[in-house]
């Protein structure tokens, strides 16, 4: 697996899934080591040079001593440079927030698509977000990765039964390994609402997609949670397009999302 060094020397691992067509870099979301975006990348590999990377602190990517969103923007800049110097972006969930931050920072990006970025636009959810960030920091500072994961799942609408099932599942140790990066995703979302001032500086065309409703694992969230967040972000972007998929799913079905992305990136 190839690696590239970020500006602070952190080694970032990535996979180049194809070498035919415009470069498309996939940016993963919370608790993702790149695996969630891979099926979508393989679907798009017929038309694009797809690069799927592991954000810092995940999988075979290293981690710096002091985290800042700016370091993750530098990571993405290094990946784009290694991939050819310019790229389209696709960001899933909090990875979408990072993709938009990278565009606002002036990286050489063409078109940007994001799926279900969890900005907080409801007052109750915004208050829950602020409490989550505080509690998450306390849990991770104490080294309690299990509690960090529980906090994240509760925020995302999981029930007590969902939590119990997750903790008993074989994937739980892998999630524990990724738990420290929850703080990174929280930083990418900042105070919670879409950062209107930053988004207003993004001049690239941006496609914001959402499912028709929240999926079963997030049943505790308001039914219009992701749609309302995407609408608010779109209102702040100079060149935004909105599309609702006719299926639910925070991890979008590549067969549904793939053709939409292909048409968007083709202009």
pLDDT digits (tens, 9 = 90+) for 26-79: 999 999 999 999 999 999 999 999 999 999 999 999 998 899 999 999 999 999
- Residue 1: predicted pLDDT: 83
pTM check: above 0.95: yes
**Residue 213 has what pLDDT?**
86
At 109, which CATH number?
3.40.50.1820
Mean pLDDT of 89-96: 98
Q: What is the mean pLDDT of the chain?
A: 96
Are residues 179 and 215 both part of a single domain?
no
Same domain, 18 and 61: yes
Provide the pLDDT confidence category of residue 217 given band limits of 50, 70 and 90: confident
Instruction: Give whole-number Cα distances, 244 to 82, 133, 159, 221, in Å.
Output: 33, 29, 26, 17
Question: Domain of 34?
Answer: 3-121+191-266
DSSP 8-state secondary structure symbol assigned to residue 196 = H
Query: Which of 185, 215, 233 represents a domain boundary (last residue)?
Result: 185
- Pair (207, 261) in one structural domain: yes
Asked if residue 262 and residue 195 are part of one domain, the reply reads yes
Same domain, 89 and 24: yes
User: Mean pLDDT throughout 255-267?
Assistant: 96
What's the mean pLDDT in 2-11? 98
Question: For residue 215, is pLDDT > 90?
Answer: no
Same domain, 146 and 216: no
Considering the domain architecture, whether residues 35 and 154 belong to the same structural domain is answered as: no
> Same structural domain for residues 113 and 216?
yes
| Number of domains within the chain | 2
Q: Are residues 242 and 111 in the same domain?
A: yes
- Do the Cβ atoms of 232 and 119 come closer than 8 Å? yes
Residues 254 and 217 in one domain: yes
Q: Which of residues 185, 216, 232 is at a domain's end?
A: 185
Query: How would you class 176 by CB atoms within 10 Å of its CB: exposed for 0-12, middle for 13-18, buried for 19 or more?
Result: middle
What residues contact residue 108 under an 8 Å CB cut-off, 6+ apart?
Answer: 80, 85, 86, 87
pLDDT score at 19:
93
What is the distance between the alpha carbons of residues 57 and 166, in angstroms, rounded to a whole number? 22
Asked which of 167, 185, 203 is the last residue of a domain, the reply is: 185
Residues 163 and 244 in one domain: no
Residues 9 and 133 in one domain: no
CA distance 51 to 67: 23
Question: In this predicted model, what pLDDT tens digit does every residue of 101-123 receive, in sequence order?
Answer: 999 999 999 999 999 999 999 99
Check if the beta carbon of residue 148 is closer than 8 Å to that of residue 138: no
For 123-170, write each residue's pLDDT tens digit: 999 999 999 999 999 999 999 999 999 999 999 989 899 999 999 999
């Amino acid at each position: 697996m190839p690696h590239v060094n970020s500006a602070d020397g952190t080694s970032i691992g990535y996979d180049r899934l194809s070498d035919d067509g415009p470069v498309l870099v996939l940016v993963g979301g919370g608790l993702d080591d790149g695996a969630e975006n891979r099926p979508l990348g393989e679907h798009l590999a017929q038309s694009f040079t797809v690069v799927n990377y592991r954000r810092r602190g995940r999988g075979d990517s290293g981690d710096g001593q002091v985290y800042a969103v700016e370091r993750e923007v530098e990571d993405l800049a290094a990946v784009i440079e290694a991939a050819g110097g310019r790229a389209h972006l696709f960001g899933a969930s909090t990875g979408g927030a990072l993709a938009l931050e990278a565009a606002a920072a002036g990286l050489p990006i063409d078109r940007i698509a994001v799926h279900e970025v969890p900005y907080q636009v409801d007052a109750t959810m915004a208050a829950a977000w602020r409490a989550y960030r505080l509690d998450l920091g306390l849990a991770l500072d104490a080294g309690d990765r299990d509690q960090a994961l529980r906090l994240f799942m509760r925020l995302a609408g999981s029930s007590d039964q969902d939590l119990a099932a997750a903790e008993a599942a074989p994937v739980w140790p892998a999630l524990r390994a990724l738990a420290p990066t929850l703080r990174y995703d929280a930083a990418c979302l900042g105070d919670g609402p879409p950062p209107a001032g930053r988004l207003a500086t993004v001049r690239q065309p941006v496609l914001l997609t959402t499912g028709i409703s929240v999926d079963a694992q997030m049943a505790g969230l308001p039914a219009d949670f992701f749609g309302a967040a995407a609408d608010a972000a779109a209102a702040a972007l100079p060149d935004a397009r909105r599309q609702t998929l006719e299926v639910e799913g925070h991890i979008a079905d590549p067969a549904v999302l793939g053709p939409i992305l292909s048409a968007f990136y083709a202009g």
